[in-house]
A and B are shown apart, each in its own frame.
Chain A
């Protein structure tokens, strides 16, 4: 049942415009960060950007991609929100529910498909970013020998796993907000406002100690393997993010199952 909803969703997800814009958009965003980091890297560390020496270490390959995670997450959030909200605005939801009246099954299949899509797009962006990193390393004279060691591959897989986890979180929150608001534009505005403005406002003006409990910061903690700025451990960030996501999925499932479809 969920498999049928999953396969049906892929017919929509693999349309050329969405596929190209998402995959190439994420790849461009990740590559941009890689290029910026390599081109601005100082010879020796100065506390800000990673130095050329740091980039030559086993984890040097993942610097750019890790820093691009927030941007990847924002794109994932917006794309996912549009996938659920547009079913209402286009009126296609009624067609879908006639063919699959078990609403939670439909929602689950859709979520799985969009999450898979965003994970694939993120993996593609990572591959492109790694190729760009290699090219940039050559141009800046950074040795890449440490990248291709066992430690280097371990760091790479670890970083990629964390980034994928964070993207899954952003994607599910996007799907849920889109489902609640039933408008792609409203969902994107609300999501971006929360991630870019409201969380910062809470931290700087209202409750500075709230950082470990905010969803956006929890997701960025996962992506970075921990958050030294706020002193949040990886496991704490993962736990808080999982709680947010589970609560969001349950709330979305209940409202979706009970809501009258008048669109």
Chain B
């Protein structure tokens, strides 16, 4: 499948409804292009997953959005402010960038106090932020005594201090145990319920899939795809797994389907159970397949639609190793 870009197309939401909009955002370090002409269009109020393998350019893009790194080329708008003038929008933005970074000798509360003073944010925002992230009981303890999960939650609390309209979370589940990941997912959903636009980056697509309604896919510094998750899923033709009643019919059934112009992978092909065949992304319906089999006197004992995971779609869109097993993190691709 060809790489798609959906930005700047007809029917795209106007910039007033976009929380983040960039135009040809590019960053080069010497001869190395880390982010290459990325056009982002992230709607306000969405929970947007920003996915790509390690080294894809996610963190560099996020740092450019936060004014930490100066773009080599391109520009954009965030919450109506110009990307080249971070002071015009950062007071409405909360961010957790990579691993949380605080002063180890200060308590969690004092770390937040330093940030509220710097940003001229009312100190009264500290307690609600601590409470929301479940850090109230440990707020007086020194940051260095926190577990990784607590550090991550304090990072989220810091991001919440300015009562943000846009929350940028860079790999928020890094280093968390399964319980912590579920907790983080719940937190992200709760932000969306409050109407906060959330941009959450991860190299774990399965994580993004469970919490996001919009997705931006990036690879090698280039935008691969962006749009609503539902739209992406709807564009995909599901595979159909079929199994004849008698295993001996599998060969003839496969040939019948191929003659009909369908792409078929019979077991023991990857992803198929013994005695089954998978008709891949053909556009044929279950009824079509059932009819073809019945005409040849073959009875089917199973006809099941199999939708693609976001992870599989990513590999289809990038034309990379589609054989990678579902659930394997993209970070494994080097």
Contacts and interface: CB of A to CB of B under 8 A. Distances in A.
Interface in A214-263: 258, 260-262
A95 B158 contact: yes
Contact of A7 (B104, B106, B117, B162): B117
A90 interface: yes
Contact of B114 (A12, A258, A261): A12
Nearest to A99: B119
Of B99, B114, B118, B158, the most chain A CB neighbours within 10 A belong to B118
Contact of A101 (B87, B99, B101, B120): B87
B63 A262 contact: yes
A12 B106 contact: yes
Contacts of A100: 118-119
**Which of the four size classes fits the interface of chain A?**
20 to 34
Contacts, number: 82
A18 B106 CA distance: 11
Nearest to A97: B68
B67 A97 contact: yes
B102 interface: yes
A8 B117 contact: yes
A9 B114 CA distance: 7
Interface in B189-223: none
A8 B119 CA distance: 9
A208 interface: no
A261 B59 CA distance: 12
Interface residues of B, number: 31
Of B105, B113, B117, B158, the most chain A CB neighbours within 10 A belong to B117
Interface in B70-99: 70, 86-87, 90, 93, 95, 97-99
B66 interface: yes
B110 interface: yes
A161 B276 CA distance: 90
A261 B104 contact: no
A43 B70 CA distance: 67
B117 A11 contact: yes
Contacts of A261: 63, 68-69
B158 to A, nearest CB: 7
Of A11, A102, A260, A261, the most chain B CB neighbours within 10 A belong to A11
Contacts of B101: 90-92, 94-95
A17 B70 CA distance: 36
Q: List the 8 shortest-distance A-B pairs measured between CB atoms, nearest first.
A: A91-B101, A99-B119, A8-B118, A101-B86, A8-B117, A11-B114, A261-B68, A260-B69
15 contacts: A4-B118, A5-B118, A11-B106, A15-B105, A15-B110, A90-B102, A96-B115, A97-B66, A97-B68, A98-B95, A99-B119, A99-B162, A101-B86, A101-B90, A102-B87
Given A90-B101, A95-B102, 18 more contacts: A4-B117, A4-B119, A7-B117, A11-B113, A11-B117, A17-B105, A90-B102, A90-B104, A92-B103, A95-B158, A96-B118, A98-B97, A99-B118, A101-B67, A101-B90, A260-B68, A261-B68, A261-B69
